[in-house]
Amino acid sequence: MNILQKSNCINWKSLCITEGKQCWVLYLDALVLDSDGNLNDALAIGAFSALKTCHIPKIQVITLENGLTEIDFSDDPSDFEKLPIKNIPICITFAKIGDEFIVDPTVEEELVMSTKLTIAINKNSEICSIQKGGSSSGLNPSELRKMIQVRRENISF
């Protein structure tokens, strides 16, 4: 998800075990069982919820006499660190149908829309990501500004 990288909500350096050599790798998989539209927003909520509950085992990096390092993992399942996450963005999707915009489109609305725009903004009102989709070639700048303003005014953290 581009939103994860662009939002700076994860301190990527916190995943470093030994600088330049080893780090934790995060895998984020989603299985969609059903969708009634607006899948991007639902996936973003699920992704950030998963990251907020991510547990990283506590480790100790030991430097041996020969200069090599050894990693000691804790065997205690309750001995972990949470992934440091801050400023999680919230996504909202707009669909353009004719000359009007709707928020949170259903599948039926997505089938007749010309343009879809998903905007991710964090609690500091910083835009973290904008993703455009649909069959239309674009949006005019005033439409884009209006959607961003609606997004900023209608979501509280």
What confidence score (pLDDT) does residue 155 get? 63
* Residue 157 pLDDT > 60: no
Q: What's the predicted TM-score (pTM) here?
A: 0.77
3-state secondary structure 45-62: HHHHHHHHCCEEECEEEE
3-state secondary structure 39-99: HHHHHHHHHHHHHHCCEEECEEEEECCCCCEEEEECCCCCCEEECCECCCCEEEEEEEECC
Reading the block at residue 94, the tokens are 């707009």
| pLDDT, tens digit (0-9, with 9 covering 90-100), for 70-93 | 889 888 888 899 988 888 888 889
| pLDDT, tens digit (0-9, with 9 covering 90-100), for 24-60 | 998 989 999 998 988 889 998 999 899 999 989 888 8
CB of 107 within 8 A of CB of 37?
yes
For tokens 């039926």, name the residue. 108
* Phi, psi dihedral angles at 153 (to 5 degrees): -80, -20
The residue ranges of every structural domain in the chain are 2-82, 90-154
